[in-house]
Amino acid sequence: MNTQLKFYRFFYWAITLLLLGSIPVLCAQVMREKPPGAPPEVVSVYSILYIIIGCSVISVISYVLLYGKSWAKGSVLSLISFVLSWFTLEGICALVLHWKDGTPLVSPQRTVLQRDPIATRRTNFSLIRYDSLGMSRPSPGQYETIYSIKESQLIHGKQTVLEKNRPVAYHIDSLSRRITPFDKSQSVGKYALFLGCSFTYGESVSDTSTIPYFFGRQTGYHPYNYGVSGHSPAHMLALLQTINIRKEVAEKKGVAFYTYIEDHLARVAPSTRWAYNSDGYLPHVNADKLTIDGSYAQKHPVRLKLIQWMYKSNVARLFKLNFPRKYSTEQYRRFVNIVRKSKDLYNQQFGNDNFYVVIFPMYPMETELRQLFDQARIKVIDYSNLLTWKTAYDGMHPNEAAYERVAEKLADDLDSKLEQPITLR
């Protein structure tokens, strides 16, 4: 090999190494999301970074194909074939999504993955963030959500689709609890705590259409609604770990109910879909201590970034990928341990063992999970087969009639067998 050729190869390789060395730094910058409404100069900087990274990759591939050994050339060609095949598959999936749902061929920076509601909505709702716990609670005040629903009506002998607005008001007290109207003249001097998610909170129904309201009206127990949309047993643990609810409740005796739905398993795991939709803003449970020690995003930043990249893929969006597909025994056990720890904290604060897990209708609990609850000596009330409910305005949550039926059944069971006169010393 002549000296001139050696020099050119050395020069080419030196430039390539410099470019390779810059890739990790540039990737770290690119991984950061561009701020909304970024000025043109910021967008230009990101474009330059992408160009440099692209040139670096092309430079390395070219060098290997020209001067690399046979195994290196084969590896690069295999990688190129895989990338081209993947882009082809992405393009096909994008076309299918566009044909099926009218999805733009170029996907936005972020697409929230969720079930499609039957109504669009507008709301002025706001939340208080607790970053050290990875959770939010409603801000005190009065809020209104307006659901725009399309209804078919017969007008002048012709079927016509009309869009009607259905407002729902929410009132939140100074302690971030949804206010539950209660006739104190009917009080029996006991409390009823309700813990859980939107099914406890009463998403898309009024203050007088929730389970806590109907239960209080039926029994005379003063209801306290600690439910928050999107919450799970991990949020319940965070709440009881941080706040002495005993100080927020006037009555000395009573019961506590945690409402279970199957989706809580995904929120505790968390599943890739929940990690993506929440941006990792979920409580992270220390498995050894059973305490909340930050958010999922804080503890697993790399895993969260990979999940966010995954859901930018048209393949993931078309096939609605979500992991885990099936929960393991260890994940079930961890879920039960979180509920048990929450129950123990309740016992410590209130001095009684009147804590119940209520399985909501149409959400049967897996046999293995139910057995683990029994082994942990957690009282479970199974209403999974109580009724088949219709949805409220949002097309996802139960309507008023469903909540009323569950509350009535809970009240009947309370009279007959639920509350135990156990006092812890």
For 326-362, the pLDDT digits (tens) are: 999 999 999 999 999 999 999 999 999 999 999 999 9
Q: Tell me what the mean pLDDT of segment 63-78 comes to.
A: 81
Q: Tell me what the mean pLDDT of segment 394-409 comes to.
A: 96
Q: Is the pLDDT of residue 230 over 80?
A: yes
Confidence of residue 422 (pLDDT cuts 50, 70, 90): very low
pLDDT of residue 120: 54
pLDDT of residue 387: 97
pLDDT of residue 126: 87
pLDDT in tens, 168-191: 999 999 999 999 999 999 999 999
pTM: 0.81
Q: Which of these, 293, 295, 378, lies nearest to 336 by C-alpha position?
A: 378
- Mean pLDDT (the chain) is 85
pLDDT of residue 122: 59
Q: Tell me what the mean pLDDT of segment 25-54 comes to.
A: 60
Percent of the chain with pLDDT over 70: 79
H/E stretch holding 171? strand 158-172
pLDDT of residue 83: 82
Q: Is the pLDDT of residue 220 over 90?
A: yes
pLDDT of residue 329: 97
Point out the least confidently predicted range of 36-50, 213-227, 244-258, 395-409.
Answer: 36-50
Q: Is the pLDDT of residue 378 over 90?
A: yes
CB distance 363 to 386 below 8 Å: no
How far is Cα 246 from Cα 240, in angstroms, rounded to an integer?
10
- Helices 211-219/400-413 angle, 10° precision: 40
How far is Cα 140 from Cα 126, in angstroms, rounded to an integer?
9
pLDDT of residue 44: 67
342 residue type, one letter: S
Q: For 113-126, give one letter per residue: b (16+ CB within 10 A) or e.
A: beeebebebeeeee
Which residues make Cβ contacts (< 8 Å) with residue 236, sequence separation at least 6? 195, 196, 258, 338, 339, 342
Pairing of strands 141-155, 135-138: unpaired
Does residue 160 or residue 137 have the better pLDDT? 137
109 residue type, one letter: Q
The 3-state DSSP class for residue 224 equals strand
Q: Is the pLDDT of residue 21 over 70?
A: no
Q: Which of these, 412, 241, 191, lies nearest to 343 by C-alpha position?
A: 241
How far is Cα 307 from Cα 280, in angstroms, rounded to an integer?
10
CATH code for 174-418?
A: 3.40.50.1110
Point out the least confidently predicted range of 19-23, 44-48, 256-260, 355-359.
Answer: 19-23
Domain borders along the chain are 3-101, 174-418
How far is Cα 251 from Cα 191, in angstroms, rounded to an integer?
6
